[in-house]
Amino acid sequence: MSARDEALQRKRAAETERRNRVLAASRARRDAAQERNRANMNRARRARQVSLVDLVDRLLDGGVVIHGDITIAVADVDLLYVGLRALVSSVENMEEKTGIKMSAKGPALGSSAL
């Protein structure tokens, strides 16, 4: 076997190992998400009488962070990356937690802050 063939074989083995690591990480994320979904479903079943108003109130009181990443790649070359990070919370709760006034009269929303 020539040195070129050995180098090609090592490169293929490294690519296979990388692909296996990515797949294992993906499976781990999927399994964790499924476990969270099961836990959320069990919690929802225990609290059967939850109205939409109560649900929205809980959501805004605690706050929710939405985080997502999308990468489009062809032949292991990343062509496009889109990242999303959003925070959903009530203004009252954010003012309480951060100590920053966010009302229309507050300095955070003034023209100089933008």
Domain boundaries, the chain: 1-48, 50-103
Q: What is the predicted pLDDT for the residue at 56?
A: 77
Instruction: Tell me the pTM.
Output: 0.35
Residue 26 CA to residue 40 CA, distance in Å, equals: 21
Task: Render pLDDT for 17-49 as a digit per residue (tens, 0 to 9).
Answer: 999 999 999 999 999 999 988 888 888 777 666
Which whole-number Å values give the CA distances from 75 to 9, 11, 19, 72, in the listed order? 18, 15, 12, 10
